[in-house]
Structure 1
Amino acid sequence: MSRPRSQAEYLARLVPPSVAGLNRRSLLAGAAGAGALLGTGLLAGCGSDSDSGAGSKTVSVGSNASDPTPKDVLAKLASGFQSKSGVTVNINTVDHNTFQENINNYLQGKPDDVFTWFAGYRMRFFAAKGLAGDVSDVWGKLSGFSDAFKKASTGDDGKQYFVPASYYPWAVFYRKSVWQQRGYQVPKTLDEFNRLGAQMKKDGLNPIAFADKDGWPAMGTFDILNLRINGYQFHVDLMAGKEAWTSDKVKKVFDTWAGLLPLHQPDALGRTWQEAAQSLQQKKSGMYLLGLFVAQQFNENEQDDIDFFTFPEIDSTIGAKALDAPIDGYMMARKPKSEANAKKLLEYIGGVDAANVMVKGDPGTLVANSGGDTSGYTALKKKAAELVGSATEIAQFLDRDTRPDFASTVMIPALQQFIKDPKDISGLLTSIENQKKSIFTS
């Protein structure tokens, strides 16, 4: 599991194929030359036509797992599958930026047999466009997945197009040693959270590590504030274009956020999430609202020093049980060169053996298959699994719960503008609402 490493890659992760009128500088000026990138073979499927046929002993995987930890996990999964099946896995690893930036062209060209992707709206979008293969028969052979995971893997037509591998909750992370030294206590309300942040500032810490150079992290802050202030149903309805961004409810979210901004690490638009995480790791920041993958930025001997709490309650009638917990996994191309091997691989990835590989390999993820041996989970991962298990509602993250073009072309610049200058909230929300109407009615 890994989040994108740059704004360009994040943008590209979102934008769906064949969206009429999509601009975003003509999709980053043609995705900064998407055709050129494809022409160089950087994101062309690594399988060849000669791999096809019933007797094929290869299968290709298009992977965005370019960060060291998830890349190593996928390599181990490939090795385990090869040992079990005799089928060679050719992994076409491309950095997140290039993979996400060119996913549309990639899927419409000659993609790999299997590719890494995400549950939720974006999975359903590609399935609805006919750019993904039906893997319902694979699901018929899988066990260990809850109904929620199956639902998250199901397209609008009721068929499955996705095999979950891992998931991770968003929460407020901190270093136990720093909090013990300072005598900090976990806040239960927004007032307590603000008082804690003010004390951290007096103690010379950045109260809240923060970064939004990548374009997506600030969405997590918006999500949690909206979930806490307005509740889950309003949040998902807003994401679906059914509620007005100009409503007093949304304005309250941004007003609350504006009050918290002085506690955030300054100059966020010039900082990556890794750099913000490192400020927490280096004990320069007191807290960080991010996904469990923040653990990837800590040394092995520091893993036991990481802890978290769910963002505190704001409205007692709504509580603090809803959270973001995105699901990562794999999909099959619409016309894989080796469909039989692609489905064999997906069946393996969805099985217990693969879950055990992921448990051991990545401290920043939780395995989706409940049959995995989680006895080796760190205390952090056990607590994260318990958090997700106790949640009353689970969102997939803003970019996965709404239209990809709305998330990329509207929400990224809007949130970055807010972070840069939070004074004109009404004007900002009017702009978002006008663009939303245009996009959701197209």
Structure 2
Amino acid sequence: MVTAQASRRSVLRALGLGSLALSSGSLLAACGGDSGGGPASGEGATVKFGINEAQGSGPAYDRLKAMADAYAKETGTEVSLNAVDHNTFQESINTYLQGTPDDVFTWFAGFRMAQFAESGLITDLSDVWPIDGLDDAFKQASTAPDGKQYFVPVSYYPWAVFYRKSVFEKNGWAAPETKDDFFALMDDMQGKNITPFAFGDKDGWPAMGTFDILNMRLNGFDFHMALMAGDEAWDGDEVKLVFETWRDLLPYHQADPLGRTWQEAATSMGNGDCGMYLLGTFVVDAIADVGDDLDFFTFPALDDTIGADALDAPIDGFCVAAAGQNQDAAKEMVKWLGSAAAADAANNGADAPFIAANSEASTSTYTDLQKKSVEVVSAASNIAQFMDRDTNADFANTVMVPSIQEFLKNPDDIDGLTSSIQQQANSILG
């Protein structure tokens, strides 16, 4: 289990902060082929770059494309870009890496990276480190259980409760600081015919963020990470308390979340039908027209003995595929992708900048939301990567996605739900 924990404070002090194989073989054909080796960089070198954003999909694609273009221009290396939509990339990653993958590909820190390292699907990048501007905690987040680095971070983003400032001001609301404030706010929203929380889980993963924050608020960060690792029981009283609390909160959420994507839920908050939305800062991508009106607060404490100093703040970055055809070129490129120059190229090449992991990157393009994000994450004592990054990918996708969705359809059978999860955890997590 690899996560950035309390040492993340130092990381951000200076920062102004599943199966790629497709039913059709077309993607694999695009990914594969012999690159012919060649020089590591410069004229005559070629590196294949697989990204988890479809062409024209928005700022995330634009940032990655800008990085690829900047690297090609700076080094003379030919960068062959293979752009795949996010969900397809996620669902097909295992077969992709076992086939004929691109040399460098977008991926995540945490358990998802460590699994590939342990199975020999990604390349040891220890000789790429240290990277100027990346703190030791980012190196920690890039380290597998064998003590070697297999990942290069580029950005991160916190999960928090987002709202429109103008809506709060119009109704005389303030960000809640206590549990009592929180429930009073939600009750007042309902009294004014505004659904407190936008909520959509058609995509399967967004509701994981709700489980994460409730578990960290009710049982603490250490328990949460032990649960993700399979070292705590899913049918124990602690997890039952999470689902019981969640059940009590569901009436404050949009009904029928399984029929709504996260973008549709974001639109509900953006147009004022809902007062708040628990999501990552990428919520802005879905409601860019009201982005300047957005603010957020961290989910308040539900148990004063535990507090509210833990949160999800996933780290995105890059790995090198062990089956890639040009390892030297891949390592040269992945080290550059972790640099301040790469982050600046990305943020200058897209309408919506990301929050750079590299402390030497420019913050001139940061929005107020991003500046606040840096402050909030740097103040957190413990940082999780998100459920589907902190636990076994098969468990997250084949057990927790359907289990949470079943809970959302039938929130009253908590004993049966947690018993089923534990039985499946026994076979997958051991």
TM-score (ref. length: structure 2): 0.91
**Distance across 2 between alignment mates of 1:176 and 1:221:** 22
Q: Match of 1:297? A: 286
Q: How many residues align?
A: 407
Q: Which residue of 2 aligns with 1:104?
A: 94
How many Å separate the matches in 2 of 1:342 and 1:331? 9
Matched, 1:212 2:197: no
Confirm or deny that 1:42 pairs with 2:34.
no
1:47–1:386 CA distance, 2 compared to 1 (3 A)? same
Residues in 1 aligned to 2:193 and 2:418: alpha-carbon distance in whole angstroms: 34
CA contact (8 A) 1:207 1:263 kept: yes
1:147-196 residue CA offsets vs partner (Å, 9 max, x unmatched): 22111111222111111111100000000000000111111222321221
Instruction: Determine if contact 1:359/1:374 at 8 Å carries over to the other structure.
Output: no
Instruction: Report the alpha carbon displacement of residue 47 of structure 1 after superposing the two structures with TM.
Output: 5.8
Letter matched to residue 100 of structure 1: Q
Q: Greater CA deviation, 222-231 or 274-283?
A: 274-283
Q: Is contact 2:311-2:383 (8 Å) kept?
A: yes
Aligned residue type for 1:203: K
Letter in 2 for 1:348: W
CA distance in 2, matches of 1:366, 1:430: 40
Matches of 2:30 and 2:357, distance apart in 1: 27
What 5-or-longer segments of structure 1 have no aligned partner?
Answer: 1-13, 16-30
Partner of 2:5: none
In the alignment, what sits opposite 1:127? Answer: 117
Once the two structures are overlaid, the 10-residue window that deviates more, 423-432 or 194-203, is 194-203
Q: Distance in 1 between matches of 2:214 and 2:291?
A: 28
- Which residue of 2 is the match for residue 306 of structure 1? 294
Match of 2:368 among 379, 392, 395: 379
**2: CA distance between counterparts of 1:161 and 1:82?**
23
The separation in 1 between residues aligned to 2:46 and 2:428, in whole angstroms, is 42
The residue aligned with 1:369 is 358
2:144 aligned with 1:155:
yes
Shift of 1:330: 0.7
* Aligned residue identity for 1:126: F
1:32-431 equivalences under 5 Å are: 34=21, 36-37=23-24, 39=25, 41-46=26-31, 48-54=33-39, 56-66=44-54, 67-140=57-130, 142-299=131-288, 302-360=290-348, 361=350, 363=352, 365-431=354-420
| Per-residue CA distance 1:183-235 (angstroms, 9 max, x = gap) | 11111222321221121122122210001111111110000011001100010
CA displacement at 1:68 relative to structure 2: 1.4
Conserved 8 A contact 2:22-2:28: no
2:51 counterpart letter in structure 1: S
Query: Following the alignment from structure 1 to structure 2, what is the Cα–Cα distance between the partners of residues 118 and 290?
Result: 18
Give TM-score, length-normalised by structure 1: 0.89
Q: Distance in 2 between matches of 1:319 and 1:363?
A: 32
Higher RCO (C-alpha under 8 Å, 6+ residues apart)? 2
How far has the Cα of 1:339 moved from its partner?
2.0
| Cα distance in structure 1, aligned partners of 2:28 and 2:181 | 48
Contact 1:144 1:370 in 2 (8 A): yes
- Counterpart code for 1:175: R
Partner of 2:4: none
- Alpha-carbon distance between aligned partners in 2 of 1:205 and 1:351, rounded to the nearest angstrom: 44
Per-residue CA deviation, residues 411-438 of structure 1 (Å, 9 max, x unaligned), is 1111111111111111111111111112
Q: CA deviation at 1:45?
A: 4.9
Secondary structure of the structure 2 residue equivalent to 1:407: helix
Distance 1:362 1:435 in 2: 43
Measured in 1, the distance between the counterparts of 2:78 and 2:272 equals 44
Whole-angstrom distance in 2 between the partners of 1:337 and 1:371: 32
Between the aligned partners of 2:64 and 2:35, the Cα distance in structure 1 is 24
What's the CA shift for 1:364?
A: 6.4
* C-alpha displacement of 1:35: 5.7
The answer on whether the counterparts of 1:194 and 1:260 sit within 8 Å (CA) in structure 2 is no
| 1:125, distance to aligned residue in structure 2 (A) | 0.5
Moved more, 59-68 or 387-396: 59-68
Question: 2:174 aligns to what SS in structure 1?
Answer: coil
Q: Does the aligned pair in 1 maintain the 2:103–2:321 contact within 8 Å? A: yes
Counterpart CA distance in 1 for 2:33 and 2:399 is: 38
The range that moved more, 387-396 or 127-136, is 127-136
Instruction: Judge which range, 199-208 or 164-173, deviates more.
Output: 199-208
- Checking the alignment, whether the CA contact within 8 Å between 1:186 and 1:309 is kept in structure 2 is yes
Identity fraction in percent: 54
Structure 2 Cα separation of the partners of residues 354 and 202 of structure 1: 49
Please state how far the C-alpha of 1:356 moved relative to its aligned partner: 1.4
Conserved? CA contact 1:225–1:257, under 8 Å: yes
State the distance in 2 between where 1:417 and 1:48 align.
Answer: 42
What secondary structure is seen at the aligned counterpart in 2 of 1:172? strand
- The amino acid of 1:145's aligned partner reads L
